Amino acid sequence: MIPEHPAYRPLKSMDRKTWLADDHILKITNGLLREDYTRLYWVDIRAALLYSLDRPDTLLVVAEVSGVALAVSGATLISPPWGVLAALVFVAIYAAWRFIQPGWAAQIYTKVTSVKLPLASSLASSRRLLSELTLRVSRAQERVLSNDALALSPGPLVISTVSGSKKDPAQSKRVPVIFYGCLFAFGAVSGFNAFTVFLYCLLFVVTFFIRRDFEFPFSIRSATVLNQMLAVSRIVIWLASWRRPFLLLVGSRLTIRTEFVVASMILSLYGLLSVVVAVRRSGQYDLRSSTILGLDTPSA
């Protein structure tokens, strides 16, 4: 008999959204104040697709590295002993975040649903995780070699006409991407005007409540995390100096330190560039209908 409260262990050590039980995978979808569960039982799983996630191209990687370097260089130049230490901590925390981001994901199909699970950053680690899942599914379905199934029925796996409900995943992310564009635009001009600082802070608070899943463009996530880290370090240093604590509520006092203003503007410019690239990429696949190999696939 299966226990009513199964013991869960994470699929990956750092991922708290995908859990493994003895007989199923638990996928947790987090809302604002609620989490919803999707259970995929081993015996119900029909197929698994391994695919690579969106990775930043050379331009964005250069922008990211130079943005971080420029942002932290201000602190190191203005206040050398503590500034260097703060810059190193900043870079170390960001690098830790950067290298645990998934580069690969799996889409698991059952008869009635499909769920996307983030895997590891490298292909080898992702294959290892997927093979662990495959083994569990195979054991549950009383077989070991998954390739045997292909030999059983080598016919085509795709129906020639699609119902039309298939949606381009990039389309659903367009509104949040534009929102982030506004955020970074205010961030880029925040050094000139107190009102833009206020709007930037307001949008910044809202970003905490916008879902950014693992399929959201990496560069936008990266720019947001960098800005969040900068904001937190700004508040921490400001609190540590303990000057007029009640003015924290006003917010404008936080903009006084020049190195923070410049760093915020540089990182916002990086974010703005990420948004532009993401918008251009999403438009690339904005097709109403395509014909491939003689199969018409309308997407009304």
Partner 1 sequence: MTAAAALTFTCPACGFVLVNEPNRSSIQCRRCGSSITIELFPGFYRAAETVQHQPVVSDEASCFFHMDRVAAFTCSRCGRFLCALCRISWAGEDLCPACLQTANSSQKTTQLSSGRFHTDSLALALSTLPLLGGFLSIVTAPVALGFALFTFNRECSIAPRTKIRSILAILFSATTIAIWIVVLVHTFRGRNTSVPATLP
Between residue 38 and residue 77, which ones bind partner 1 under the rule CB under 8 A?
A: 43-54
Site string (237-266) toward partner 1, x via CB under 8 A? ------------x-----------------
Tally of CA atoms within 13 A in the half-sphere of 155 that contains its CB: 4
Binding of partner 1 at residue 105 (CB under 8 A)?
A: yes
> Strand, coil or helix: what is 132?
helix
Measured from the CB atom, the residue of 121 and 134 that comes closer to partner 1 is: 134
Site string (273-292) toward partner 1, x via CB under 8 A? ------------x-x--x-x
Give the span between the Cα atoms of 64 and 55, in whole angstroms.
Answer: 13
**The binder of partner 1 chosen from 14, 23, 89, 128 (CB under 8 A):** 23
Binding of partner 1 at residue 219 (CB under 8 A)?
A: no
Give the span between the Cα atoms of 249 and 238, in whole angstroms.
Answer: 12
**The binder of partner 1 chosen from 124, 240, 293, 300 (CB under 8 A):** 293
Give the span between the Cα atoms of 92 and 24, in whole angstroms.
Answer: 36
Q: Is the CB of residue 45 less than 8 Å from the CB of residue 106? A: no
Binding of partner 1 at residue 213 (CB under 8 A)?
A: no
Measured from the CB atom, the residue of 287 and 300 that comes closer to partner 1 is: 287
> Strand, coil or helix: what is 71?
helix
- Give the binding-site size for partner 1 (rule: CB under 8 A): 71
> Strand, coil or helix: what is 106?
strand
Measured from the CB atom, the residue of 58 and 81 that comes closer to partner 1 is: 58
**The binder of partner 1 chosen from 76, 79, 101, 134 (CB under 8 A):** 134
Binding of partner 1 at residue 132 (CB under 8 A)?
A: no
The CA distances from residue 125 to 121, 213, 215, 290, in Å, are 7, 20, 18, 35
DSSP 8-state assignment for residue 167: -
Binding of partner 1 at residue 122 (CB under 8 A)?
A: no
> Strand, coil or helix: what is 161?
coil
**The binder of partner 1 chosen from 12, 28, 73, 212 (CB under 8 A):** 28
Measured from the CB atom, the residue of 81 and 293 that comes closer to partner 1 is: 293
Q: Of the ranges 30-38, 60-68, 220-228, 259-267, which one interacts with partner 1 (CB under 8 A)?
A: 30-38
What region does 164 belong to: left with phi over 0, alpha with psi -120 to 50, or beta?
left
Nearest by Cα to 37 from 49, 28, 50, 48: 28
Using CB under 8 A as the binding rule, the residues of this chain from 165 to 194 that contact partner 1 are 166-170
Give Cβ neighbours of residue 221 (< 8 Å, ≥ 6 apart): 101, 212
Binding of partner 1 at residue 297 (CB under 8 A)?
A: yes
Query: Nearest distance from residue 191's CB to partner 1, in Å?
Result: 22
